[in-house]
Amino acid sequence: MTLTAQETTYPTRAVYAELGGAGLVYSFSDQSLLTVPVQVNRLFGRGNHYFEVGAGTTLVNFRETVYDYDSNGNAVERESKTWHFIMDMGETPAVMGTLNFGYRRVPDEPGFTWRVNLTPVFNSNGFWPLFAGIGAGYAF
């Protein structure tokens, strides 16, 4: 009688919705903010539990309607492209660098996955080490 070990293959790709993290934030009233995060991550571990390390960049595009007053006291509407998030971004579109250190739970087969991470952010105006995120998604 021959016994063979059953090999488990875990999902290798995932799609996430995330609060915080590399996507930063997304919208406000009378404001429009688009963030497009791109990261490369490496997982270390086995089974369902992984330490995740990565780096990337987030494109930021911001628009806000601002009301000023002219010399007659009439409201004048204008558009602002300057955004401040943790540190000054200046005029947008702009990019912000991101790092990623966290935990990822991967299912045994395609299905629900989640992660928590510390996401330091940086740009030409500085470095902020204490930004974090949580995410949930589908691994396949």
Across all residues in the chain, what is the average pLDDT? 87
CA atoms within 13 A on the CB side of 71: 0
Rounded to whole angstroms, how far apart are CA atoms 97 and 20? Answer: 14
- Taking only the tens place, the pLDDT of each residue in 31-67 is 788 889 999 999 999 889 999 999 999 999 988 888 8
Work out how many domains the chain is built from and give that number: 1
133 in any annotated domain: no
Q: Which of 96, 117, 11 is nearest to 54 (CA)?
A: 117
115 in any annotated domain: yes
20 in any annotated domain: no
Cβ count near 19 (within 10 Å): 12
Cβ count near 43 (within 10 Å): 15
76 in any annotated domain: yes
95 in any annotated domain: yes
Token pair 């070990």 is found at 5
Domain that residue 114 falls in? 29-125
